[in-house]
Amino acid sequence: MSASMQEIAERKYKYGFTTDIAMEEFPRGLSEDIIRLISAKKNEPEWMLEWRLKAYAYWLRIEEPDWAHVKHPPIDYQDLYYYAAPAKEAPKSLDEVDPELLKTYEKLGIPLNERAALAGVAVDAVFDSVSVATTFREMLSKAGVIFCPISEAVREHPELVKKYLGSVVPVRDNYFAALNSAVFSDGSFVYIPKGVRCPMELSTYFRINARNTGQFERTLIIADDDATVSYLEGCTAPMRDENQLHAAVVELVAMENAKIKYSTVQNWYPGDENGKGGIYNFVTKRGACLGKNSKISWTQVETGSAITWKYPSCVLSGENSVGEFYSVAVTNNHQQADTGTKMIHLGRNTTSTIISKGISAGKSDNTYRGLVKIAASASGARNFTQCDSLLIGDQCGAHTVPYIESRNASAKVEHEATTSKIAEDQLFYCRSRGLSEEDAVGLIVNGFCKDVLKELPMEFAVEAQKLLSVSLEGSVG
């Protein structure tokens, strides 16, 4: 690659650098021994190891799902590393974190030094298989909020973990959830006690660095009665020629009157313009609105990954509970996305809103797949769904696959979907005002996505807008 080509490539994906740091890796491949090693490494109690082994036994028996509108060569699960972590002992405080890691996160725009950190955002930084730092912990614990790596929660708060881990996404939920349950190595744990409004935004920043390593993080967020929390998630990875697997599980639990807002800006390495490399992002995210009047809101901006397979969902059990899903998914070059949501209405007067904006460019395929299910018990339930697709160029595909199932006569379900392209006259209008074609596309696409972007916390919204424009670079002209 010539110097200028390098420059262009890096402009397109500016998080593609690697961090050179001594790593501890377990041998390649997956076996009971590897799971025992992971569990031992984390000093886990016996019950946790058993839980993992059961998940593994189940995973061995089932097949990878094939219903999504995506194609990829078979994944050799024995060719992956399931654990990779910086070799140094886990730091006791932020001051002990390896300077090389601090530098990495600084470069990613996530300073871990509390003095330099974004005001009002606490960060858990996950590097390959482990959490390397969590900021503002003391301040949060004064408010009674627990925000720590999940490996620590397993040891320090076993009663909460035992009760809720796997309660929303059961081990047997699906192939990747079972795999994650067997081998998850870290992720974040959040508990907001009764009546507490979390004093700052919580955030986890996931970074895959090591080669041939799968990242299997597990996040569990519990908002007790009357609690409120806003949680952000960001992700990046180096540019590598081989595909890497990221199979996460996120579980949210909202009790009475609790509110959880979960925002994701997913910017894993998407592969190059020929479709080489990139992350396989196979993620299971689900929230349970257990209590009356609880609310779970998912907002996602998906621009990265070679393949995205994720359906952040809400199970609305509590009376009057609310589920929301706001999504922007952009695919360019050879990217494939099959993403959407499931809204399962069980309780009375539950409401859900789905706003999905899919943008396909290049030779990519972008699918919205969603389920709205109204159970017989969900009297007075309401759903509104709007999914719009935008095509840029005639080599890409945009697909909409909604499933709508209603078993309650008093429920009301409305669904609308459109597919369109950027109109020539819109482009020309912008260009006649001096915008380049790419800027014009960026502007129009941002307008198309506005209903979703406005749901993001402010710090993220600006970043997301830039990301949209960058992701579509080279898609016109």
DSSP designation for 272: -
> Which residue, 240 or 342, has its beta carbon nearer to another protein?
342
Whether the CB-CB separation of 312 and 342 falls below 8 Å is answered with: no
- Closer of 283 and 328 to another protein (Cβ): 328
Q: What SS3 class is residue 140?
A: helix
Helix (H, G, I), strand (E, B) or coil at 351: strand
389 counts as binding another protein under rule CB under 8 A: yes
* Identity of the residue, 62 or 423, whose beta carbon is nearer to another protein in the bound complex: 423
Burial of 379 (0-12, 13-18, 19+ CB in 10 A): middle
Which of 103, 163, 421, 466 is in the footprint of another protein by CB under 8 A?
421
C-beta of 31 vs 395, nearer to another protein: 395
Q: Does 473 bind another protein (CB under 8 A)?
A: no
d(CA 140, CA 151): 18
Classify each residue of 336-366 as buried b or exposed e, where b means 16 or more C-beta atoms within 10 Å of its C-beta: bbbbbbbbbbbbbbbbbbbbbbbbbbbbbbb
Report yes or no: 354 and 383 within 8 Å, Cβ to Cβ: yes
Reading the block at residue 193, the tokens are: 């006690």
Is residue 413 at the binding interface for another protein, with CB under 8 A as the rule?
A: yes
Q: Which stretch binds another protein (CB under 8 A): 237-245, 264-272, 324-332, 431-439?
A: 431-439
Strands (E), 237-349: 243-246, 249-254, 259-266, 278-289, 295-302, 307-310, 313-316, 322-331, 336-345
Question: Of residues 72, 429, 462, 466, which one binds another protein by CB under 8 A?
Answer: 429
Q: How far is CA 192 from CA 39, 145, 188, 208, 455, in A?
A: 26, 5, 13, 28, 22
Residue from 10, 43, 414, 462 binding another protein (CB under 8 A): 414
Q: What is the CA radius of gyration of the chain?
A: 22
Instruction: Please state the closest distance from residue 439 (CB atom) to another protein, in A.
Output: 6
417, 461, 470, 476: which one binds another protein (CB under 8 A):
417
Nearer to another protein, 160 or 392 (CB): 392
Among 103, 439, 462, 466, binds another protein (CB under 8 A): 439
Q: What angle, rounded to 10 degrees, do the helices at 175-183 and 32-41 form?
A: 50
Binding mask 58-97 toward another protein (x if CB under 8 A, else -) reads ---------x------------------------------
Whose Cβ is closer to another protein: residue 212's or residue 426's? Answer: 426
Binding range to another protein, per CB under 8 A, among 27-35, 140-148, 285-293, 419-427: 419-427
Q: How many residues make contact with another protein (CB under 8 A)?
A: 58
DSSP secondary structure code for residue 78 in this structure = G
450 binds another protein (CB under 8 A): yes
Determine the 3-state secondary structure of 250 from DSSP.
strand
Give the per-residue contact string, 346-375, with another protein (x = CB under 8 A; - = no).
Answer: ----------------------------x-
CA distance 193 to 191: 6
Q: Which is nearer to another protein, 9 or 404 (CB)?
A: 404
Q: Does 336 bind another protein (CB under 8 A)?
A: no
258 or 391, CB closer to another protein? Answer: 391
Binding site for another protein (CB under 8 A): 67, 374, 376, 389, 391-421, 423-426, 428-437, 439, 443-444, 446-451
